[in-house]
A and B are shown apart, each in its own frame.
Chain A
Amino acid sequence: MNSTALLFMGPAALLVILFFFVPVVITLGLSLTDAATATGLSNWKWIGLDNYDQIARGSFTMLIIRNTIFYVLVTLAFNVVVGLGIALLSTHVEAKAGGFFRALWLLPRISPSAVYAIMWVWAAAAPPFGIMNDVLSPVGVAPRDWLNTDPWVIVILVNGFVGASLGMLVFTSAINSIPEDLFRAARVDGASAWQIVRRITLPLIRWPVLFVLVYQTMSLMASYEYILLTTNGGPGLYTTEVWSLWAFHTALSNYYGNLEFGLGAAMAAGLVVIGLVVSFTMLRLFRFDELVSDPRVEIT
């Protein structure tokens, strides 16, 4: 590698090392200690793999893994399917109407997270409160304390409405970049709307779909803020507790102030490893190397 290349890569490489690589190393190091509020930053000691051992033996571990898989898969499906649906619909109507429709779907994303989550908490409040009860009871849905009776519905919708907007934006721009000639030709050949979507649109937006899938999977695995602000991992026995929220609760939020930084770091380190495995698996599954390989036909 020549010095010019190093010079150009330097700033970016420095940022990656400082803000991505170093935190991972610190997290891994911290995970091998008993650092906690009770030790402060001066009295901690190395304890080897004890924290990992505790997690492996924990009664909650399998439950929280199952919750995390369920949360990521269902929310991801919602994000991609709804995002794709909005993109397809809004690109097939008059441009201004489509733009307005997409702008509406951006509202959850541009609202401050805490405000957005609190609005959901109020909307889902127990009877006689809650807009959801007011709206749904006339159509036969019994009023209920949604956050306690159907916590996953709320968790997935709260995250899904935010996540769908990202897919919507990416898919819309991808659809709009497909040459119009292909659609016209298909229509001339008598293709139905579904056939056009199935045979032209979807294959040509495979790369954006891959990007959204991988990005959203990673994002969902690490995200917990909306769960924290709505169900806080409950109700009951860790019903909606996911791995990243568990790490947060352990390391940074204990009712009695006994924060366990080392144990929480071990949980976070586990998440980093799982994230890497899932990323590589998805990139292989979607043949990422083929997507970024040089074109076989060179146009001059």
Chain B
Amino acid sequence: MVKLVAWTIGPDAPSFYRKDNLVSAVATLNQELEKENPKTTIELDATFESGGAWGDYLQKFQLAAEAKQGPDIVLAGHENFAPWVGPGYVIALDDLLKKHEAKFKDVIPTLWDAMKLRGKTYAVPQDTEARPMYYRKDLLAKMGWSKDRIDGLPEAVKKGDFAMSDLLATAKEAVDKGVVEAGKGWYPRPTKGHDHYMFYYQNGGEMQDKASGKLVVVPAALEKHYGVYATAVQTKVTSPTHIGSDFKIWHETVTAGKVLFYNAGTWTWKEWSTTYKVPENDLWDKVGFTLIPAAQKGAKPTTLSHPLAYMVTSNGKTPELALRLIAHATTPELNSRHSVESAHLAILKTQQDDPTYKKDKFLLATGYMSDFTTFIPNHPKYGAYDEVLFRFLSGVATGQLTPKAATDQAVAELKNQLRDELITK
């Protein structure tokens, strides 16, 4: 009997299958092990940790790993393993993945890019998502948009016919006409998070150099990225007090139908019906979703994915069994039930044919966004990089700094903190 311990963040409803899929995988792995050696069976102690608070969760794992008391398997964001590789908290999986290649060949290939650091693979994707631009159909109708135009907005964005400047102009028109209150034309994410970087990528931004793995900043793109927020605030489309406001109030305001455009994740669609009690039919009637419009007409729209991933730690005595358990949790059936329950996109190619997945209208409607997606980088110093860029973004969004001044100071500070680990393009 081998005992494995797995930690997943939570309980993070409706994403409870992050833990429960591992629990379900125990039975099938034990069946497989019985054929190899009837004496070997595994027992799993899988727990939700830290009540969904990411900071506490990461810190708890780091302290446990340092004390050699961590779990065998840990679930975290793909970028989280970057600082854990140096002290050896998690192990490279390449050899084991090669040995069990057949079990992982169904994983969508692009997701593996987000699981690597300096050419080595440290994690297995658990789920992924897209971050759409949501819009209120009823408010656009109030502005005089026809049903065809409203329903055709995702396609117009996809083709590059409706750019970010069009979105901001539409939001301004909604404010000017009194369709929405000032500051409620566009609600970007109100707190720190990956979503903001969609507007950096949208403007030609890069975050990591593929060859060297170093972090990258593109000042011209950063200035345009900051410019999007500055324009939104100057035109009263977004309030200068928006960044830093309460996320709960953010959700209550958008679900009350008071905001024209707003950014959130695919999983948020499910949260609006489960946590904020908006009937899903109501969402379909009144809320639409598109990619993030391109910076200019004719350019490519974007979105961003942040796959969560299972990692095998150096603390475990049986890393191969841990990886095999992850393999048994990475099946179309188990991943599809997680996807449907929590509105996360498929991580396996065959999920598209899974009967459960195929029945979900929202997942089918947003699936194409994966083709336009981007990721944040895996780098040990990404936390410092993000802190600098976000703080200056906040400065621009509150009107304290111009995009140019914020860019100049942000680049100088990045150079000060990251030194040789930064490439300026």
Whether B417 contacts A235 by the Cβ 8 Å rule is no
Nearest to A234 among chain B residues (CB) is B244
Chain A proximity mask over B379-403: 1 for CB below 8 Å, otherwise 0: 0111110110001101101101100
Q: How far is the CA of A149 from the CA of B417 in the complex (A)?
A: 30
Whether B80 contacts A42 by the Cβ 8 Å rule is no
Q: How far is the CA of A258 from the CA of B79 in the complex (A)?
A: 10
Q: How far is the CA of A249 from the CA of B387 in the complex (A)?
A: 10
Known interface pairs A37-B62, A255-B55, A256-B80. Does A149 touch B383 (Cβ–Cβ under 8 Å)? Answer: no
Q: How far is the CA of A236 from the CA of B383 in the complex (A)?
A: 18
| Residue from B87, B193, B391, B416 within 8 A of A237 (CB atoms) | B391
Whether A257 contacts B244 by the Cβ 8 Å rule is no
A125 interface residue (CB < 8 Å to B): yes
Chain-B contact segment, one of A51-59, A97-105, A171-179: A51-59
User: What residues of B have a CB within 8 angstroms of the CB of A236 in the complex?
Assistant: 243-244, 394-395, 397-398, 400
B-side residues, CB < 8 A to A, are 54-55, 58-59, 62, 66, 77, 79-80, 82-89, 192-193, 241, 243-246, 249, 380-384, 386-387, 391-392, 394-395, 397-398, 400-401, 406, 409-410, 412-413, 416-417
User: What residues of A have a CB within 8 angstroms of the CB of B243 in the complex?
Assistant: 234-236
Whether A254 contacts B383 by the Cβ 8 Å rule is yes
Q: How far is the CA of A58 from the CA of B413 in the complex (A)?
A: 6
Kindly provide the distance from the CB of B294 to the nearest chain A CB, expressed in whole angstroms.
28
A41 interface residue (CB < 8 Å to B): yes
Q: How far is the CA of A249 from the CA of B87 in the complex (A)?
A: 21
Whether A59 contacts B381 by the Cβ 8 Å rule is no
25 contacts between A and B (CB under 8 A): A38-B87, A38-B381, A40-B87, A54-B416, A57-B416, A126-B241, A126-B245, A126-B246, A126-B249, A145-B241, A234-B243, A234-B244, A234-B394, A239-B400, A253-B55, A255-B193, A255-B383, A255-B387, A256-B83, A257-B58, A257-B80, A258-B82, A258-B381, A258-B384, A259-B59
Residues facing B in A13-63 (CB within 8 A) are 36-43, 54, 57-60
Whether B392 contacts A145 by the Cβ 8 Å rule is no
Nearest to B241 among chain A residues (CB) is A148
Q: How far is the CA of A148 from the CA of B190 in the complex (A)?
A: 12
Chain B proximity mask over A52-87: 1 for CB below 8 Å, otherwise 0: 001001111000000000000000000000000000
Chain B proximity mask over A223-250: 1 for CB below 8 Å, otherwise 0: 0000000010011111100000000010
Q: Chain B at the A interface: mostly helix, strand, loop or mixed?
A: helix
Kindly provide the distance from the CB of A81 to the nearest chain B CB, expressed in whole angstroms.
30
Nearest to A121 among chain B residues (CB) is B246
A interface residues, how many (CB within 8 angstroms): 38
Q: Chain A at the B interface: mostly helix, strand, loop or mixed?
A: loop
Nearest to B84 among chain A residues (CB) is A37
User: What residues of B have a CB within 8 angstroms of the CB of A58 in the complex?
Assistant: 413, 416-417
Q: How far is the CA of A259 from the CA of B394 in the complex (A)?
A: 21
- Give the interface centre of B77, B83, B413 by most chain A CB atoms within 10 Å: B83
4 new A-B contacts at CB < 8 Å, known A41-B87, A257-B383: A36-B83, A38-B381, A40-B86, A256-B80
User: What residues of B have a CB within 8 angstroms of the CB of A42 in the complex?
Assistant: 87
Nearest to B390 among chain A residues (CB) is A255
Kindly provide the distance from the CB of B414 to the nearest chain A CB, expressed in whole angstroms.
10
Q: How far is the CA of A37 from the CA of B384 in the complex (A)?
A: 12
Residues facing B in A166-213 (CB within 8 A) are none
| Residue from B66, B244, B249 within 8 A of A235 (CB atoms) | B244
A268 interface residue (CB < 8 Å to B): no
Whether A149 contacts B241 by the Cβ 8 Å rule is yes
Closest 9 CB pairs of A and B: A40-B87, A258-B383, A237-B395, A236-B398, A148-B241, A257-B58, A235-B244, A38-B380, A256-B383
User: What residues of A have a CB within 8 angstroms of the CB of B395 in the complex?
Assistant: 236-237
Nearest to A37 among chain B residues (CB) is B83
Kindly provide the distance from the CB of B377 to the nearest chain A CB, expressed in whole angstroms.
10
